[in-house]
Amino acid sequence: MILNSKLPTIGTTIFSVMSNLAQTHNAINLSQGFPDYATNPKLIQFVTDALKDGHNQYAPMAGLPSLRALIADKTDRIYGASYDPDTEVTITAGGTQAIFTALAAIINPGDEVIIFEPAYDCYSPTVKLLGGLVKPFELHAPEYKIDWEMVKKMFSANTKLIILNSPHNPTGSILSKADMDALVKLTKDTDVLILSDEVYEHIIFDGEEHHSVAKYPELRERSFIVASFGKLLHTTGWKIGYCLAPAKMSTEFRKIHQFNVFSVNTPMQVGIYNYLSQSDIYNELPTFFQEKRDYFQQLLKQTKFDLLPCKGSYFQCVSYEKISEENDLEFAKRLVTEYGVASIPVSAFYTRSNNEKILRFCFAKENSTLEQAVQRLIKL
């Protein structure tokens, strides 16, 4: 049998590779972005109650109306952006499914998509799977700033979409108001659409502001916004998120969504709605994770690593330039096998070979986990 792969150059993701290595060598896993602490027991109880109360059949295709209304209210309250919960909010099976579905709804063969690298690793393969052409714009340590004049030069008659991610995975950088103003200017009088990956929107530090595209009417009218309950509620394994988009774009999104997953886990939607209806987690989350970041940074100062800025997300990037000449994949693997700590080599987030000697650590962990990891890293 001859099977022609649609993604012939794609193998297992770096997240799976490093997590498997961590498991094999009994290493502390600071690679994949998931917490190792317990979910809030009140949220667990709300989901348990939903199961017992019989919420075990299909939810509406777009998601529970009550949860969509709650999301619309939160978006209006925080960003001053009005979305119709009936036609412009869709519950998804996680952020990655929302990204895939949005891309599938709009990308045709030959369409060009601008992405900023290092980039979350589902963007490029999905575009290629759909017949699109990826045009990567490379960002570099330590600040990972976007030169919008250079981005403008990448535009062509085939430019269909720009993918944003802020707060940024893997670098922890954020987009500023100046960035958003530049993007407004760049896309004015064009048909270019935007996919804004904002799954870490509430994990932002030092009093900085999250500049969602929802805050900018000129961007909102052309944007899909992807968000995640997994990041908000420390429940990455539940794989529940949502997509905001104008009605015309949401219609196309839902055409794909209905055949992709149809609907999303009903009792968890009920539980999330009941929990968020009486929780202040939107205000609590930045402080919670800033304390984690600050503690982890203080610990890392005992090592030979140089710390890069971290303004959002729950990832801390470090440079090992003073430690080794190895490329980052070799060095990351040796950290696992010889020192028992798993990280992610940042070169994995680039299309072309890149070796700035940067690793990404996840600090969404118990303090004791971070302490144990750093005790091992001190030995480098």
Res 1 pLDDT > 80: yes
Whether residue 9 lies inside any domain: the answer is no
Q: What is the pLDDT of residues 241-264, one digit of tens each?
A: 999 999 999 999 999 999 999 999
Structural contact between residues 159 and 105, judged by C-beta atoms closer than 8 angstroms? no
Question: Omega into 170 within 30° of 0, i.e. cis?
Answer: yes
Q: How far apart (Å, rounded) are the C-alpha atoms in residues 360 and 110? A: 33
Q: If you average pLDDT over residues 306-310, what whole number do you get?
A: 98
118 and 227 belong to one structural domain:
yes
At residue 160, φ and ψ (nearest 5 deg) are: -110, -35
Task: Please identify, among 224, 257, 276, the residue that sits at the C-terminal boundary of a domain.
Answer: 276
27 and 57 belong to one structural domain:
no
Q: If you average pLDDT over residues 209-225, what whole number do you get?
A: 98
Task: Please identify, among 246, 276, 306, the residue that sits at the C-terminal boundary of a domain.
Answer: 276
212 and 162 belong to one structural domain:
yes
60 and 158 belong to one structural domain:
yes
Secondary structure class of 58 (helix, strand, coil): coil
Q: What is the pLDDT of residues 121-158, one digit of tens each?
A: 999 999 999 999 999 999 999 999 999 999 999 999 99
Q: How far apart (Å, rounded) are the C-alpha atoms in residues 196 and 162? A: 8
184 and 317 belong to one structural domain:
no
Residue 352 sits at the vertex; the CA angle it makes with 348 and 358, to the nearest 5 degrees, is: 45
Task: Please identify, among 236, 257, 276, the residue that sits at the C-terminal boundary of a domain.
Answer: 276
Res 13 pLDDT > 90: no
Structural contact between residues 223 and 257, judged by C-beta atoms closer than 8 angstroms? no
**Which amino acid is present at 312?**
G
Radius of gyration of the chain (CA): 21
Q: Say which CATH number the domain at 118 has.
A: 3.40.640.10
DSSP character at residue 213: G
25 and 62 belong to one structural domain:
no
Which pLDDT does position 171 carry in this prediction? 97
Burial class (CB in 10 A: 0-12, 13-18, 19+), 352: exposed
pLDDT band at 25 (very low <50, low <70, confident <90, very high): very high
Domain count, the chain: 2
DSSP character at residue 190: S
Whether residue 364 lies inside any domain: the answer is yes
Which pLDDT does position 10 carry in this prediction? 85
| Nearest by Cα to 139 from 108, 160, 157, 114 | 114
Res 214 pLDDT > 90: yes
Whether residue 369 lies inside any domain: the answer is yes
Which pLDDT does position 148 carry in this prediction? 98
Which pLDDT does position 258 carry in this prediction? 97
141 and 260 belong to one structural domain:
yes
Whether residue 204 lies inside any domain: the answer is yes
Res 9 pLDDT > 90: no
Q: What is the pLDDT of residues 310-366, one digit of tens each?
A: 999 999 999 999 999 999 999 999 999 999 999 999 999 999 878 899 999 999 999
Res 78 pLDDT > 80: yes
Q: In what order do the strands lie in the sheet with 315-319?
A: 306-307, 315-319, 358-362, 344-345
Q: Say which CATH number the domain at 369 has.
A: 3.90.1150.10
Res 269 pLDDT > 90: yes
Which pLDDT does position 322 carry in this prediction? 95
Q: How far apart (Å, rounded) are the C-alpha atoms in residues 227 and 90? A: 10
CB-facing half-sphere around the CA of 97: CA atoms within 13 A: 23
C-alpha distances in Å from residue 10, one per residue of 66, 95, 126, 273, 351: 39, 20, 11, 37, 11
Which pLDDT does position 12 carry in this prediction? 82
Whether residue 190 lies inside any domain: the answer is yes
| Nearest by Cα to 83 from 99, 101, 71 | 71
Whether residue 1 lies inside any domain: the answer is no
Which pLDDT does position 15 carry in this prediction? 87
**Which amino acid is present at 166?**
S
144 and 271 belong to one structural domain:
yes
220 and 313 belong to one structural domain:
no
Q: State the residue range of the domain holding 272.
A: 41-276
Which pLDDT does position 81 carry in this prediction? 98
Q: What share of the chain in percent tops pLDDT 70?
A: 100
pTM of the model: 0.96
Q: How far apart (Å, rounded) are the C-alpha atoms in residues 299 and 235? A: 26
Q: What share of the chain in percent tops pLDDT 90?
A: 93
77 and 136 belong to one structural domain:
yes
254 and 304 belong to one structural domain:
no
Res 367 pLDDT > 90: yes
Q: Do strands 241-244 and 223-228 pair parallel, antiparallel, or not at all (unpaired)?
A: antiparallel
Q: If you average pLDDT over residues 202-230, what whole number do you get?
A: 98
- Mean pLDDT value across the chain: 96
Whether residue 85 lies inside any domain: the answer is yes
212 and 232 belong to one structural domain:
yes
Which pLDDT does position 246 carry in this prediction? 98
Those residues whose C-beta lies under 8 Å from the C-beta of residue 275, and which sit 6 or more positions away, are: 40, 42, 43, 46, 233
